[in-house]
Amino acid sequence: MRAVDAIMESLKAEGVDVVFGIPGGANLPTYDALYDAGIRHVLCRHEQGAGHAAEGFAKATGRVGVALATSGPGATNLVTAIADAVMDSVPTVFLTGQVRTDLMGTDGFQEADITGITLPIVKHSFQVADPREIPERLHEAFHIARSGRPGPVLVDIPQDLSRADINYEPSDAIALPGYRPTTDGNVKQIRLAAKALANARRPVIYAGGGVINAEGSEELRELCASDRFPVTCTLMGLGAFPAPHDQWLGMLGMHGTRAANYAMDEADLICCIGARFDDRITGKLSEFAPRAKFIHIDIDPAEISKNVPAHIPIVGDAKLIVSKLTREYRALETDSSRLDGWWERIQAWRERHPLGYTDSEDSEIKPQYMVEAMFEATDGQAIITSDVGQHQMWAAQYYHFCRPRQWINSGGLGTMGFGLPSALGAQIGCPDQTVVCLAGDGSLQMNSQELATCVAEKIPVKIFLMNNGFLGMVRQWQELFWDKRYSQVDMGTLPDWVKLAEAYGATGMRATEKGTLVEQMREALATDGPVVLDVQVTKEENCYPMIPAGAAARDMVG
Amino acid sequence: MGEPGTSEVMNLEDLEAASGFRTGRRHILSIVVENKPGVLARIAGLFARRGFNIESLAVGPTDDPAISRVTLTVDGGLHPIDQVTKQLHKLINVIKIRDLEPEDTVARELALFKVSVDDQARDQVMQFAEIFRGTVVDVSRRSMTIEITGTDEKIAAFEKMVRPLGLIELVRTGEIAVARGRSAT
Ligand SMILES: Cc1ncc(C[n+]2csc(CCOP(=O)(O)OP(=O)(O)O)c2C)c(N)n1
Ligand SMILES: [Mg+2]
């Protein structure tokens, strides 16, 4: 059969039933095979959109997301999505067409060295040199993307090779002698961790996106139920532990709660599960959690002791390790009254510094209120995707996520324009759920073309636009740290979002009054097809509390 | 330390942190890789991206054509070697890494010194070459090329001798190394 038909068979063998992409010269043969392969193709309007859609699909379902692009500009348009996927460990496979082998290296039309360009931002990549190896390479690509610490794998296929006639045999061989992720976790270390937890007087469990990737949220809940451990999550970990819960401290880090950050600061033992001590968490590294010993559980050994030296490193799968840790801990039958004093202290922080804002006295919509209204209108159950900026942080603070994979955002790379395409992918992965994209007015303009995709493919995402007329997060920094010299943050004339939605064939709505916001949101949610709800909020509101860049947790402001 | 199932717990103060930090010495990393296109670019790219500096690098085939060996030296005073090796391990094509202990390692490098000479200096250079067990591999009326094989220190010492005479150029292969004794590196 044609190599491209073998690609389709390989994709189906990996369980792929939907791909996102845009055709072009170098992947014409692939698109010919796709024509009647029985795999759904979602034609995006920009390859970056296709890449983020694949990520949104993967984050919402836990399955590998797939995006296709042609050579040259098609492939380079994927770059931001690939970088985003590597930073947030998203299982994705990117299939790019390449110019014919006889043109490679000659600056042929639409030639770009995409394997070279993406070398620092892929988990791995393959350039096919022999069409007969296509089934094996694709099988390995999916295996690498979804196992160990998940990530993006690029497979670049020259156009002429994709037309070759080959014998397709399903591949289940993995010839990767250098790739054997550790999953089990060292038993002695796990025991040591259980004992350390049992002896801690001021412990904190600090969980990240790794728990969600490992499908370990149940196990995390079990661990926390085995005693009264305080729990906090990173931006990527939200939903791994249910927000409405007495042991929940809120998110930690730059825009986290005081209770979470102060608890980290005073902890004697921090148990980090599937997180990586990013600078947005630690603030000033030398003053981070000065009294704490660290247990660090991660599937990626390179994360352990990268930023903060671990006292008890445990490499492996978070789900397996946390369930063993819970068993070991329960066996110690520890007296939980030793945590009474710690909880009194935490309770005092919670009471003195709850998250809050001053609501408007008139009908003006405060951005924080907008998120609260979203929570109410969706009964806290929607899948929320987000762009990057203040709105993202307010969503993390005020939408209380109760389950894993409910919160989809770009954390590591912080990619504006992630929200809409990832919502589209999430909606395709979870057709029975409500998917809301909380967009920023700056960010939405970076990928608004995907509204056309939503309309054409009947993908009913609801876009709730937090319209503050500014590149708000940058404006906030200019206000606080640069003497309010507002340099290029005022968006000036924005598009008329209602008309823009209508021009695309979607429904457009506008909200300007606090009193009717929840009702309008409900109306938007009840409307068929994609909807843009332009919510006009306070223009210059700041997101608090915050740890100024480079400061320590106890120096939170606001 | 108690057994599981007992309530004996450990003292947090007794825990020691695993160090991810500077060792302060030079490390020779012997890396076994799959002989696949782009492997060297992946390794070099990783060093560039993480801000690690390669002091010397040598690549060559092994007895198995599917496998190559990369030997590179890194300054453990500047870089956390533990991080360097862990990041290298994440490259899918890297099969094995050995951080060779200096006492248990035989390391060699080959260097070619091209020195400018007149009649008087020629004798002197030949004498140095003999002392360093070097070989004269090319002679012209106004230059000489000497091959020196040895450790980093030996090459540096020879350089110190001939530089004042007029060193035209110095080309080095980068160090290669094997572990001492019977076991494979
Ligand atoms: C692609 C990209 N370009 C620039 C930035 C820098 N940046 C971070 S937040 C931000 C402002 C975002 O504005 P908007 O989408 O309106 O969100 P708001 O902060 O106003 O809620 C900018 C420009 C970024 N994160 N991503
Ligand atoms: Mg804005």
| pLDDT tens-place string over residues A318-359 | 999 999 999 999 999 999 999 999 999 999 999 999 999 999
Dist. CA A143–CA A157, nearest whole Å: 18
pLDDT band at A98 (very low <50, low <70, confident <90, very high): very high
The answer to whether the CB of A414 is under 6 A from ligand 1 is yes
pLDDT band at A298 (very low <50, low <70, confident <90, very high): very high
Q: Given a cut of 70, is residue A488 above it in pLDDT?
A: yes
Nearest to A118 by CA among A62, A76, A166, A88: A76
Over the stretch A539-548, which tens digit does the pLDDT of each residue have? Answer: 999 999 999 8
* Helix, coil or strand: residue B183: coil
Average pLDDT (A186-200) is 96
Could you count the other beta carbons within 10 Å of the beta carbon of residue A555?
14
Tokens of A63: 């399955």
Separation in Å, CA of A245 to nearest CA in chain B: 28
Q: Which CATH architecture has domain B12-102?
A: 2-Layer Sandwich (3.30)
- The region of weakest confidence among A219-228, A513-522, B9-18, B141-150 is B9-18
Q: What pLDDT does A214 receive?
A: 98
State which amino acid sits at residue A137: R
Could you tell me if A194 lies within 8 Å of chain B, comparing CB atoms?
Answer: yes
Number of H helices, E strands in chain B: 4, 9
Average pLDDT (A73-86) is 98
Could you tell me if A144 lies within 8 Å of chain B, comparing CB atoms?
Answer: yes
Domains A187-352 and A367-536 agree in fold:
yes
- Residues of B within 8 A of A333 (CB-CB) are 7
Could you count the other beta carbons within 10 Å of the beta carbon of residue A380?
17
- Residue burial A41-73, b: 16+ Cβ < 10 Å; e: rest: bbebbbbbbbbbbbbbbbbbbbbbbbbbbbbbe
User: Which is the closest atom of ligand 1 to the Cα of A444?
Assistant: 15
Nearest-CA residue for ligand 1 atom 3 is: A416
Q: Does domain B106-178 have CATH number 3.30.70.1150?
A: yes
Q: What pLDDT does B8 receive?
A: 66
- Residues of B within 8 A of A120 (CB-CB) are 45-46, 49
Q: Which helix (H) or strand (E) holds A155?
A: strand A152-158
DSSP assignment of B16-69, as one string? -PPP-S---SEEEEEEEEE--TTHHHHHHHHHHHHT--EEEEEEEE-SSTTEEE
- Residues of B within 8 A of A312 (CB-CB) are 15
* Helix, coil or strand: residue A235: helix
Cβ(A130)–Cβ(A90) below 8 Å: no
- Residue B15 exposure: Cα atoms within 13 Å on the Cβ side: 27
pLDDT band at B19 (very low <50, low <70, confident <90, very high): low
User: Strand pairing of A507-511 and A531-536?
Assistant: parallel
Q: What pLDDT does A255 receive?
A: 96
If you ran DSSP here, which 8-state letter would residue A537 be given? Answer: B
Q: What pLDDT does B86 receive?
A: 94
Q: Given a cut of 90, is residue A75 above it in pLDDT?
A: yes
pTM, to two decimals: 0.94
Q: What pLDDT does B20 receive?
A: 59
Average pLDDT (B23-52) is 92
In this complex, do B18 and A178 lie within 8 Å of one another by their Cβ atoms?
no
Q: Does domain A187-352 have CATH number 3.40.50.1980?
A: no
Q: Given a cut of 90, is residue B16 above it in pLDDT?
A: no
Average pLDDT (A276-303) is 94
Nearest to A391 by CA among A451, A461, A441: A441
User: Which is the closest atom of ligand 1 to the Cα of A491?
Assistant: 16
| ipTM here | 0.87
CATH of the domain spanning A367-536, picked from 3.30.70.890, 3.40.190.10, 3.20.20.70, 3.40.50.970 = 3.40.50.970
CATH superfamily membership of A3-162: Thiamin diphosphate (ThDP)-binding fold, Pyr/PP domains (3.40.50.970)
Q: What pLDDT does B3 receive?
A: 43
Average pLDDT (A363-372) is 98
CA A476 to chain centre: 23
- Residue A351 exposure: Cα atoms within 13 Å on the Cβ side: 6
Q: What pLDDT does B183 receive?
A: 85
Q: What pLDDT does B4 receive?
A: 42
Dist. CA A213–CA A221, nearest whole Å: 15
Ligand 1 centroid distance, CA of A443 (Å): 6
Domain chopping of chain A, boundaries: 3-162, 187-352, 367-536
Average pLDDT (A265-271) is 97
Q: C-alpha distances in angstroms, A518 versus A390, A394, A399, A501, B163? A: 21, 17, 14, 20, 81
Over the stretch B77-116, which tens digit does the pLDDT of each residue have? Answer: 888 899 999 999 999 999 999 999 888 999 999 999 999 9
Dist. CA A425–CA A385, nearest whole Å: 10
Q: What pLDDT does A201 receive?
A: 96
Nearest ligand to the C-alpha of residue A446? Answer: 1
Q: Which residue has the tokens 């390794």?
A: B43
- Residues of A within 8 A of B82 (CB-CB) are 305
Average pLDDT (A427-434) is 98
Ligand 1 centroid distance, CA of A32 (Å): 39
Mean pLDDT of chain A: 96
- Residue burial A423-451, b: 16+ Cβ < 10 Å; e: rest: bbbbbbbbeeebbbbbbbbbbbbbbbbbb
**Crossing angle of helices A187-199 and A318-331, rounded to 10°:** 50
Q: What pLDDT does B5 receive?
A: 41
Domain chopping of chain B, boundaries: 12-102, 106-178
In this complex, do B83 and A306 lie within 8 Å of one another by their Cβ atoms?
yes
Dist. CA A141–CA A91, nearest whole Å: 10
Could you tell me if A120 lies within 8 Å of chain B, comparing CB atoms?
Answer: yes
- Which class for A170: exposed (0-12), middle (13-18), buried (19 or more C-beta within 10 A)? exposed
Over the stretch B118-133, which tens digit does the pLDDT of each residue have? Answer: 988 999 999 999 999 9
pLDDT band at B1 (very low <50, low <70, confident <90, very high): very low
